[in-house]
Amino acid sequence: MEKDQEKVFVKDPNKTYGLMEIVDGTSPMVEKAPEDTVDTFPHYIILLTICSLAVTLILLLISLFFDAPLEDLANPLVTPNPGKAPWYFTGIQELIHYTTKPVIPAIIIPLFIIVWLFLIPYIDRTAKTRPGILLNRIFVGGEKRKILIILFTVFIFGALIFTAIGSLFRGENWGFVLPWK
């Protein structure tokens, strides 16, 4: 073992070490080899900078080849038909379209969503499985966890479906149209 460490950590009398140096002792770090270590803060920042620059370059190239789907200049005398909410509110606008009492989808459902988000940390506090293993947590986590996961999945898919319908499939007078026609 000591011979292996001497091969990995070559002792050079010409090098000086700063705050930390490699010494023989009882520290658990003595047996750590470079392949067992984790990148530190500067390495992470360099990787994050490279990824950010790559994403910026990709977005720049996409913007060079594709134009943004902008409409005409805003005119306060002419409102567009249909008047659509921003994409993150089109799900609620779609729910309002289907109901006769707009108070339920416009006020009560968003209020339930906000209350649900506040209660999430307090609902499932007794996980009996190891953290980090998603499938084990889903299928072994107990009946309470399965119900919560099913409810959350239904909520996400419902929100995505209503948002897609409200954004893509609504035409004049909020009529249903196919986007490819």
pLDDT by 10s per residue, the chain, length 181: 555 555 555 666 666 554 455 555 555 555 556 665 666 677 778 889 999 999 999 999 999 999 887 878 888 888 877 788 888 888 888 888 878 888 888 888 889 888 887 877 676 655 554 444 454 455 555 555 677 778 888 888 988 998 888 888 888 888 888 877 7
Asked if 92 contacts 105 with a C-beta cutoff of 8 angstroms, the reply is yes
Q: Quote the pLDDT of residue 91.
A: 83
Q: Give the residues across from 170 on adjacent strands.
A: 176
The pTM of the whole model exceeds 0.85? no
Phi, psi for 39 (deg, rounded to 5): -60, 145
Asked if 145 contacts 127 with a C-beta cutoff of 8 angstroms, the reply is yes
Token pair, residue 94, equals: 């779609």
Q: Quote the pLDDT of residue 132.
A: 46
Domain extents in the chain: 1-70, 87-174
Q: Quote the pLDDT of residue 64.
A: 94
Token pair, residue 174, equals: 């909020």
Q: Quote the pLDDT of residue 118.
A: 81
| Residue 131 C-alpha from the chain's centroid | 19
Q: Quote the pLDDT of residue 129.
A: 46
Q: How far from 63 is each of 57, 58, 60, 73, 100, CA to CA, in Å?
A: 10, 9, 5, 21, 42
* Residue 14: DSSP 8-state: T
